[in-house]
Structure 1
Amino acid sequence: MEELVKRTKQAALQEGLWSRGDTIVVAVSGGPDSTALLHVLHRLAEEEDIRLVAAHVNHGFRKEESSAEADFVKRLCRRLHIPCEITELDMPAELAAVSENPQLASRRRRYAFLHRIAEKYGASKIALAHHADDQAETVLMRLLRGTGLGGLSGMAPIRREKNVELIRPFLRMNKTDILAYCRQADVAYCEDSSNSQRYYMRNKLRLDVLPYLETMNPGVRESLVRLAEVSSGEHDYMQRQAEAVFQEQAVQTGRGWKLKCSQLAGIHVALQRRLIKLILNYLTLETETTSFERIEEIRLSATDELRTSWSLDAGGGVRCVREYDTLRFIRDSGGTETSAEFEYSVTPEHKRLLIAETGEELLFGTGRTEPGKNDSRTYGGSGSEVYFDAEAVRFPLTVRSRRPGDRMSVFGLNGTKKVQDMFVDSKIPPSRRDRIPLVWDAEGRLLWIPGVRRSSVAPIGAGTERLLRIVWSGDADIGEAEGRMDGSMDS
């Protein structure tokens, strides 16, 4: 009898299940496991300086039997002088109105009640009576359904949920130990008739599958519990590694996160999967239903050098989009960033243009060439700045988003080239293409696509005396660029 109390105290110390002064809500069904847990915690309460509150849910499935269990819990708590909270539900009626798994629906309502009682009494812990046999069943059930290390870890001795911690003091105790305690301490309990009904998967495993497996390995339950402990440690280590990679590689965007596909491909496949699931976890609460197949589809598509542009629904209101070497995880089912259509007129007096739709800016400045330096090499520019022969450019300029059929005259090419083709050649992500400003002059000539290409219009030559310089904030720091608008340039 004393052995179970001693082991429970040791488990609490090793796992940090509670601290002195804690209030603990104990979920009590009236069965042997939860009744023994309440008895053991009651015996430890004064020594450990913990306060107990019992909570019981009558789900209404078994009518008279369920009512008898509720009455039993009331009497038990009265005898032990423990506050008791009981709620009565009509789960059969609720389930008749909605299509939901009875066990999952009952669990959801039960845990919601436990959290309400914890809040009412200011409790920081909710104690559950799951034991080692339950752990073995859980691991086997998840194994049959298909799971990874996280699932094989089974139930944790302590886990935070909302503002409280769920604790399982009996998780390393066998069912036989608990029943032995009930006999030795003369602890009465109720028998749940539904535990013998085989239409529940867990009951089938306990009544049929595990006894059969024990004919081949008498220690199969211990093996499954040991598998859970090993998996838990390795899962925790791998999760920490994935979080470190996440901090290093993931970049937060307006509606989600993005990664470099080349960086993702450079880490171990196990971390690839965990990193993808971790990002989905940040964006949605539905990752437990995210299938291995969906995560693997994202992973393989992101590391395939031949598939440089695609989009797929990742579930939970998240879309995964690849744009060349960038992999984006975007909230909502819009697919890519919002299209931004805009058009602005720029006169010679304009020094700065803010494009409200994108938040980016263009700076304009004019000035004279330096003697002997009026050639295209001196004023070659870059992706974020460009120079033109000011006398050859016709104002007002037009700055607008791209449109179907836009073309540009480029150096070394007779005729023009499609803007769409230049975006593709330069590997501009589709989500950026509608946001890049195109600069046109009054004669309808496309002068410049910032970050992509300058046209062959108004080149700097030996006869050039005045320059038009344009700087774009998309690939440059606009404050730094503004500071460079000096010397030979008017600012």
Structure 2
Amino acid sequence: MNLRNELERTGTERGLWTEGARIVAAVSGGPDSMALLHMLAALAQEGKISVIAAHVNHGFRIEESAHELEAVKTYAEKLGVPCETAVLDLPSYIEETGMNSQAAAREKRYAYLHEIAERYGASRIALAHHADDQAETVLMRVIRGTGLTGLAGILSKRREKNVELIRPMLRMNKSDILRYCEEHHIPYCTDSSNKERHYFRNMIRLDILPYLSRYNPQLSQSLHRLADVAGAEDEWMEKQTEALFAQLVTLSPNECVVNVDDLSGLHVALQRRLIKLILSYLSKETEKISFEQIETMRLAAAAQMPSTWRIDAGAGIRCAREYNLMRWFRIPQQSLNDVSAYSYEVGRDGVSLKADPCGWIFDFIRLTAGQHPRPASRYEACFDASELTYPLIVRNRRPGDRIQVLGLNGSKKVQDMFVDEKIAPLERALYPLLFDAEGRLLWIPGIRRSSHALTESHTKDVLFIRAQNE
């Protein structure tokens, strides 16, 4: 089937746009988005819609990015489509915020697309995700661990702010899109970063999907079908949960309250969904709240559990059981920010230290030649004392702190380590770090040690450290 007809049919079936709709097309310069621009421009020429192209240069690949911007502008002009472009300094923004590059790029890119939509009065932003992207997304989520919502993959339509994000190419395969570009002489750029395997999605596309496809040549189609089935069932479940939310939850601007019996009386699947919906009502930053945290809150409503209880759920939310009520409420921002810096020094003869602000206790044990205990957990570490500069320092995190991670090339931000390990934001501000007198971060207890002062079989002076959190 002609892809342009397929795009129009998908738009009609899934209600992605109506006659006369004004649409912002996000165009990166790759084959997918350039094909999307070509198809939408054809519909615009027939008077069915109007289109504005929008392109963002993130500032990562200097020469490539500049070429992509010019390619998009030139092709949009050839098609008679207005084109808006932005050049961003993402590296500086990443350094300032501590976000990872992909999250920062997405945040800034979508902010710009919304800005263009508002400027032109557009009701929709069209994105060029296709069937291969869908398969990759579902497999990524399966590997990382997901529920029914994650299996639904990328949605063809989703409201964000006052605009609908639409993906009219989700049924199209990459190979068909490339063929379409060839047939219609559509120029496009190739992003060199798509071959860099330190991005998980690239590993999925380049290595894992091809390997698994040996056992099921139709794997991509199977994953796409799974997303369709899961998406429909997830949508139905979400509607049931929204009805329960309206029926059972007492709302205020910063708080949600549910009767314990009402929550525990629901099917377990609806309990989990209702808690997630409550968290989403209170915060837009709930992605990092884990399944284990959801379960802890769900089980707290059981009859045999303590009648008073509380936990920091993450995303600036606290959950508390108060007798027959479960309460979720936003923690005042002042409480999140008012964390005093602390710092303790430990000399060569130091034996024990309690860091009062965080409640952690450190034991320092000097061992002689021949004594080489193996740390029993990430809460124990051994160092070659002859390579340490004293006094050692136990303190909380400061902006820009980095660790030379054992087993990895280069250093990594402590903030990123906390995010990777799902350390709650409230805990991060007080979490203890171990430095030497030269400012080298030696150890993040319970997470990772650095590559400095490693012990060998011939090490004569070993410092064994044990940390525990009261």
TM over 0.5: yes
1:18 maps onto 2:17 in alignment: yes
Who is 1:31 aligned against?
30
Worse-superposed segment, 39-48 or 152-161? 39-48
Shift of 1:325: 1.9
Please give the alpha-carbon distance, in whole angstroms, between the structure 1 residues aligned to 2:327 and 2:17: 42
Paired residue total: 333
SS of aligned partner of 1:305 = coil
Q: Which moved more, 1:195-204 or 1:40-49?
A: 40-49
Bigger mean CA offset, 209-218 vs 257-266: 257-266
- Per the alignment, in what secondary structure is the counterpart of residue 300 of structure 2? helix
| Alignment-mate amino acid for residue 184 of structure 1 | E
Note closer, same or farther for the CA distance 1:306–1:138 as it changes in structure 2 (3 Å cut).
Answer: closer
Q: Is the 8 A contact 1:311 1:322 kept in 2?
A: yes
Provide the rounded CA distance (Å) in 2 between the counterparts of 1:41 and 1:333.
46
For 1:42-441, list aligned pairs within 5 A. Answer: 42-47=41-46, 49-252=48-251, 255-332=254-331
> What displacement does 1:255 show?
4.6
Maintained 8 Å contact 1:319/1:333: no
What is the CA–CA distance in structure 1 between the aligned matches of 2:257 and 2:316, rounded to whole Å? 16
Identity of aligned residues (%): 54
Distance (Å, rounded) in 2 between the aligned partners of 1:215 and 1:14: 34
The separation in 1 between residues aligned to 2:317 and 2:217, in whole angstroms, is: 46
Superimposed CA distance per residue, residues 35-89 of structure 1 (whole angstroms, 9 cap, x where no aligned partner): 0011111112233521111111111211111111111111101111111111111
C-alpha deviation, 1:322, in angstroms: 1.3
1:257, distance to aligned residue in structure 2 (A): 2.1
> How far, CA to CA, are the matches of 2:252 and 2:11 in structure 1?
43
- Alignment partners' CA distance in 1, 2:253 and 2:230: 36
Q: In structure 2, give the amino acid aligned to 1:328.
A: R
Deviations 1:238-275 (A, max 9, x none): 11111222222222358522222122221100001111
Q: Match of 2:67, as an amino acid?
A: A
Separation of aligned partners in 2, 1:98 and 1:118: 26
AA partner of residue 272 (structure 1): Q
Normalising by structure 1, what TM-score? 0.66
Amino acid at match of 2:157: I
Paired residues of 1:313 and 1:333 also in contact (CA < 8 A): no
Q: Distance in 2 between the 1:184 and 1:200 partners?
A: 31
What is the letter of the counterpart of residue 148 of structure 1? G
SS in 2 for 1:92: helix
TM-score (norm 2): 0.68
Q: Distance in 1 between matches of 2:215 and 2:44?
A: 42
Secondary structure of 1:29's counterpart equals coil
3-state secondary structure, aligned to 1:154: coil
Q: CA deviation at 1:226?
A: 0.9
Q: Deviations over 1:318-369 (max 9, x none)?
A: 22221222212223269xxxxxxxxxxxxxxxxxxxxxxxxxxxxxxxxxxx
C-alpha contact 2:93 2:104 (8 A) present in aligned 1: no
Amino acid at match of 1:282: Y
Q: What do residues 443-475 of structure 1 show as CA deviations (whole Å, max 9, x unaligned)?
A: xxxxxxxxxxxxxxxxxxxxxxxxxxxxxxxxx
Write the letter of the residue equivalent to 2:85.
I
Report the residue type matching 2:164 in the other structure: E
Describe the superposition over 1:280-325 as per-residue Cα deviations: whole angstroms up to 9, x where unpaired: 1111212222211111001111114242221111222222221222
User: Matches of 1:57 and 1:244 in 2, distance apart?
Assistant: 40
CA distance in 2, matches of 1:116, 1:159: 17
The question of whether the paired residues in 1 share the 8 Å contact of 2:58 and 2:89 is answered with yes
Structure index of larger Rg = 1
CA separation in 2, counterparts of 1:11 and 1:133? 17
Aligned to 2:165, what secondary structure does the other structure show? strand
CA contact 2:254–2:282 (8 Å) conserved in 1: no
2:230, 2:50 → 1: CA distance? 33
Q: Supply the RMSD in Å over aligned alpha carbons.
A: 1.6
Cα separation, 1, equivalents of 2:113 and 2:14: 22
Q: Secondary structure at the match of 1:287?
A: coil
Unpaired stretches in structure 1, ≥5 consecutive residues? 335-491
Query: Which residue does 1:468 correspond to in 2?
Result: none
Distance 1:196 1:183 in 2: 22
Per the TM alignment, residue 111 of structure 1 is displaced from its structure 2 partner at its CA by 0.7
Task: For 2:30 and 2:47, locate their aligned partners in 1 and report how far apart those are by CA, in whole Å.
Answer: 25
CA-CA distance at 1:180 after TM superposition: 1.1
The amino acid of 1:100's aligned partner reads M
- 1:277 counterpart letter in structure 2: K
**What CA distance in whole angstroms lies between the structure 2 residues aligned with 1:244 and 1:179?**
44
Given the superposition, is the C-alpha separation of residues 327 and 93 from structure 1 closer, same or farther in structure 2, using an over 3 Å criterion?
closer
How far off is 1:234 after superposition? 0.9
Does the 8 Å CA contact 2:23/2:50 hold for their aligned counterparts? yes
C-alpha distance in structure 2 between counterparts of 1:165 and 1:306, whole Å: 43
